[in-house]
Amino acid sequence: MLSDEEIKKLLKAGDIAKRAFSIAEKIAKPGARLLDVAERIERYIMELGGEPAFPVNIGVNHIAAHYTPTPSDSSVIPDDSIVKIDLGVHVDGYIADSAITLYYNPIYEPLVEASRRALEKAIEVVKPGVRASEIGRVIEETIKTHGFKPIKNLSGHGLERYTIHSGVVIPNYHDRLNLYRIREGVYALEPFATSGAGLVVEGSLVTIYALKPTSRALPGSTRTLYERIYGSRKTLPFTPRWFIKNPIDEEAVARGLMELRNLKLLLEYPVLIEKEKAPVSQFEHTVVVTSREVLVTTL
């Protein structure tokens, strides 16, 4: 059962996430550098007293998830594009996870409305005892009613302290094999809609990582990097650019991550791309379920 203090921290994280989106909507315009957008949002989260729960994800067009800009990324938001901004905030490890889709061509409005409406409908049915598969059914039916497909291999998830994915899966389709029933806890609901195959595949690029906890003795420079990252992130996702201050840093961090990968202490989050490279929309909110009520912390 969540304590009043824990709920207070979850609500604060959600409030910061809401306010961060006000900045995102102002600065994420065609021509804006992706790196500038991500870093400005992350700074604003910290200015408000939170910490990023993961690097700001910016998914342009067919990129569905897990892309955050690198220090050398000079790309900008294209004209006539559709862009997902997925951000997380934590306060003392208590997480709010939320996403919006922005679009710069009216052709994308129906696709955006499909995932937006699916999220609204999903929130309406969340309560203790409801099957996760029922939430998925509502999401799938809503998206299909709008003429699109849900992305079946992306899902909502449980949230725990310092843990983005607790192991609980909230599907975006009617997955009859998912027998989980909603109980008191924290969940992120995130419908993805597409005009493509309804599946994502992994790209070759990785810009987001997380550490695995370990008590093993590590070699000097690797231990230093591990402790530097783990000290601020624990097992929450991070991006190398947060730990790079100059070109020498960049080389050392890249080498250290390779060593951590070889030691099997590094989780990698490859960029996820719609299988047919079709455009994708996404909306996400965090819900806190108690015996008394359902709180949408990011709404």
119-177, pLDDT tens digit by residue?
999 999 999 999 999 999 999 999 999 999 999 999 999 999 999 999 999 999 999 99
At 247 the pLDDT is: 67
Q: Catalytic residue, from 160, 165, 249, 259: name it.
A: 165
Q: Has 86 been annotated as catalytic? A: yes
Active site residue 284: yes
Please give the helix or strand (H or E) that residue 258 lies within, else none. Answer: helix 247-262
Burial of 122-160, coded b for 16+ CB within 10 Å and e otherwise, reads bbeebeeebbbbbbbbbbbebbbebebbbbbebbbbbbe
Catalytic residue among 62, 66, 157, 285: 157
- Report the predicted TM-score, pTM, of the whole model to 2 decimal places: 0.95
CATH number for the domain formed by residue range(s) 4-202+272-296? 3.90.230.10
What pLDDT score does 53 carry? 98
Whether 80 sits among the annotated catalytic residues: the reply is no
Q: Where does the chain hold its CATH 1.10.10.10 domain(s)?
A: 207-269
> Is residue 124 annotated as part of the catalytic site, yes or no?
no
Within the chain, strands assigned E span 51-60, 63-65, 82-91, 94-103, 149-150, 156-159, 169-170, 185-189, 192-194, 200-211, 266-274, 280-282, 285-289, 294-296
Q: What is the CATH number assigned to the segment(s) 207-269?
A: 1.10.10.10
Which residues of the chain register pLDDT less than 50? none
C-alpha radius of gyration, the chain, whole number: 19
- Whether 97 is a known active-site residue: answer yes
Q: What is the pLDDT of residue 2?
A: 93
pLDDT of residue 245: 79
Give span(s): CATH 3.90.230.10, the chain: 4-202+272-296
